[in-house]
């Protein structure tokens, strides 16, 4: 399995994966596919995990399906809890808030950091510096906290 | 890793469609939000894989299987996914079984030889759905005999 193969569009099927490719849309019988996300791509991501040796086809299908459920859940949760409800929009900050505030989605906190304006951040830094200086003045009287 | 960065991403079009179908009609999604969800999905795959792999290793297996993935969902506190996943697994297994039988049937048609022993064996293995197909086979046999 060469890496070049993964540059092909998701709907393409390689010989060995022709039964497994979860392409968008319907299959030959007109039934909606079990899974929309491309299994080949899911497999690449799974294999990039160092300790993993091999993945059974069912595990691959379930992981793809779970990922779809996850996308749905993350989107609806963030929308419901987000400030965007009045605006009828889902924004990045809705997602960042979810990552920070929900325990379930906490594993996303590092990749979905909250954003603040640069000016606000600089102000925060300045305030912290002033606080630290004030503490230094008091440290002669109080015990140092460490 | 040797993978290119784009290989670890999921296709935008599919992600967008899943999001749109999940949200109420008329809700817009910023490009940034879409991209963030896509990245989150990739991270989810990694996290789920790592977690499932722990279960496989506990079971002294080198191959991740379906139950490892289900156990991982439990561990990650996505219990709500377990029922729909089990249903999907059932559907997938039925589909695979149907495909296997369809290709075996094609092989038999190609051979055009009544191999009654094989049919008896497969009759035991098959379930109700396949009784219809067996009737077809018997019909074919009759036609061949006539010829």
Smallest CA–CA distance, residue A46 to chain B, in Å, is 6
The encoded tokens of residue B29 equal 């999604």
Q: Is B53 on the interface with A (CB under 8 A)?
A: yes
CA distance A114 to A146: 28
In whole numbers, what is the pLDDT of chain B averaged over residues?
A: 82
Rounded mean pLDDT of A61-86? Answer: 91
Strands (DSSP E) contained in B52-120 are 63-64
Query: Is A11 contained in some domain?
Result: no
- Chain B from 86 to 125: CB within 8 A of any A CB: 88-89, 91-93, 95-96, 99
Domain that holds residue A91: 39-132
How many domains, chain A? 1
What are the phi and psi torsion angles at A22 (to 5°)? -90, 75
The fraction of chain B above a pLDDT of 70, given in percent, is: 71
Set of chain B residues whose Cβ sits within 8 Å of the Cβ of A20: none
Q: Are A94 and B33 in contact (CB under 8 A)?
A: yes
What are the phi and psi torsion angles at A112 (to 5°)? -125, 65
CA distance B10 to A138: 55
CA distance B147 to B143: 6
- Chain B from 8 to 47: CB within 8 A of any A CB: 8-11, 13-15, 17-19, 21-23, 26-30, 32-33, 36-37, 39-47
Check CB contact under 8 Å for B64 and A54: yes
* CATH code (residue A61): 1.10.20.10
What is the model's pTM? 0.69
The reply to whether ipTM tops 0.95 is: no
Which domains does chain B possess?
A: 1-63 (1.10.20.10)
The encoded tokens of residue A142 equal 């109080």
Q: Are B23 and A90 in contact (CB under 8 A)?
A: yes
In the predicted structure, residue A32 carries a pLDDT above the cut 90:
no
The tens digit of pLDDT for each residue in B13-54 reads 999 999 999 999 999 999 999 999 999 999 999 999 999 999
Residue B77: pLDDT band (50, 70, 90) is: very high
Q: How far is CA A13 from CA A20, A24, A34, A41, A47, in A?
A: 8, 12, 16, 11, 19
């Amino acid at each position: 399995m060469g890496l070049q193969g993964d540059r092909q569009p998701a709907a393409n099927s390689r010989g060995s994966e022709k039964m497994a490719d979860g392409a968008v849309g319907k299959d030959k019988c007109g039934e909606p596919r079990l899974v929309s996300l491309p299994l080949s791509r899911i497999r690449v991501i799974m294999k990039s995990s160092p300790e993993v040796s091999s993945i059974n086809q069912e595990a691959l299908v379930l992981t793809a399906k779970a990922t779809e459920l996850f996308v749905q859940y993350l989107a609806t949760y963030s929308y419901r809890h987000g400030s965007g409800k009045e605006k009828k929009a889902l924004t990045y900050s809705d997602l960042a808030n979810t990552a920070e505030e929900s325990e379930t989605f906490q594993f996303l906190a590092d990749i979905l950091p909250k954003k603040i304006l640069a000016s606000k951040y600089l102000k925060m830094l300045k305030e912290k510096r002033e606080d630290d200086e004030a503490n230094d003045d008091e440290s002669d009287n109080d015990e140092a906290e460490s | 890793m040797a993978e290119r960065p784009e290989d670890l991403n999921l296709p935008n079009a599919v992600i967008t469609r899943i999001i749109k179908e999940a949200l109420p009609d008329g809700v817009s999604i910023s490009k940034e939000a879409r991209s963030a969800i896509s990245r989150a999905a990739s991270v989810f795959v990694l996290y789920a894989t790592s977690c499932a792999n722990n279960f496989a290793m506990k079971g002294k297996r080198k191959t991740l299987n379906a139950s490892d993935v289900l156990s991982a969902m439990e561990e990650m506190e996505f219990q709500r996914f377990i029922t729909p996943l089990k249903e999907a697994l059932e559907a997938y297994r039925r589909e695979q079984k149907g495909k296997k039988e369809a290709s075996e049937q094609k092989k038999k048609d190609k051979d055009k030889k009544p191999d009654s022993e094989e049919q008896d064996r497969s009759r035991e293995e098959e379930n109700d759905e396949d009784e219809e197909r067996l009737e077809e086979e018997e019909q074919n046999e009759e036609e061949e005999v006539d010829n």
